[in-house]
Amino acid sequence: MINPETLRYTQQTGDFGPMLESIPYAGWIGLQCDRFGDDLIFRLPKKDSNLGNPILPAIHGGVIGGFMELSAAIYLVMAQDTLRLPRIVDFSLDYLRAGLNRETYAECRLTRQGNRVSNVMVLAWQKSREEPIATARAHFLLDG
């Protein structure tokens, strides 16, 4: 669980460092986040320990999925101004092409906001948004 003060600090300042440091998996894969006005772009750096197939070399599918799921959760925290990470209900991921060993980006969009459940779409790409490596749909349960 992330300290609510850390989430408040991130929401107020846009400095994602302390929040990402408090999530062990984010640190392990190297997840980074940049804010451009109200938009968030998540980054997964080129990192050999994220590889699943060193021959191609390609990022492990689980790392891509974890990157996208965690990006959606963080996006929702920032969009909702809540002081808790939402709980994942369902996550559906479509791999479209190999994620090669290079910097990878993700962008999220809130598609449905209810009182108890929110839906987020995630698009991950490397060289161009027009050539995504994966898309995902995440459903989160919100704490009332």
| Domains along the sequence of the chain with CATH | 4-141 (3.10.129.10)
Burial class (CB in 10 A: 0-12, 13-18, 19+), 22: middle
Note if the pTM is more than 0.85. Answer: yes
For residue 58, pLDDT over 70 is answered with: yes
For residue 5, pLDDT over 70 is answered with: yes
Q: Return the pLDDT at 143.
A: 73
Top-confidence residue, 104 or 78: 104
**How far apart (Å, rounded) are the C-alpha atoms in residues 86 and 98?**
29
Confidence of residue 14 (pLDDT cuts 50, 70, 90): confident
For residue 46, pLDDT over 60 is answered with: yes
**Which structure tokens are listed for 28?**
């392990």
What average pLDDT does this structure show over 98-104? Answer: 96
**Which structure tokens are listed for 62?**
């689980």
